[in-house]
Amino acid sequence: MSQSWFLGRKIISVEFTYDNVGIGFEDGSGLTIYNPCSVADTFQSSRYIGARIVAEYWSSDQFYVDLHNGNKIVVDLREAAWAGPEAMVFAYENNGYMVVSEPPGETTMFREEIRK
């Protein structure tokens, strides 16, 4: 993937709900993760808050980012991990969206960008 969606963004919040993890960034953008991910323990959220993303990687079975403090956020994209139509949704600070939808191999629209 040539364009970086997350590089340089600073995490300012991590929120846990029943079926997702929400990550807020300093610039007002946010990432909602629906698939299983490494950010799954409220007691460990301090490892992420204040960290800046220094690298971003995509493959057919996972998405992950490296943080400047040595930690990592990993999202499971294997077909067995999908519980719904989206694995994650990134909301831009300017009202655009990037949606990771449908398990890889089931559709040609793996990542789509929607701008308002």
The tally of domains found in the chain comes to 1
How many alpha carbons fall within 13 Å on the CB side of residue 62?
Answer: 12
3 located within any domain: no
**Position 94 in a domain:** yes
CA angle 105, 108, 109 (to 5 degrees): 115
In a domain, 77, yes or no: yes
Which has the higher per-residue pLDDT, 75 or 115? Answer: 75
> Tokens at residue 24, please?
């807020």
In a domain, residue 55? The reply is yes
For residue 76, being part of any structural domain is answered with yes
For 24-77, the pLDDT digits (tens) are: 999 999 999 999 998 766 567 788 999 999 999 988 889 999 999 999 999 999
**How many other C-beta atoms are found inside a 10 Å radius of the C-beta of residue 107?**
10
- Domain encompassing residue 28: 11-114
Task: Give pTM, 2 decimals.
Answer: 0.82
- Each residue's pLDDT tens digit, 68-109: 999 999 999 988 888 888 889 998 877 788 888 866 554 433
Asked, for residue 2, whether it belongs to a domain, the answer is: no
Please check whether residue 5 lies inside any domain of the structure: no
DSSP 3-state of 54: strand
Is 4 part of any domain?
Answer: no
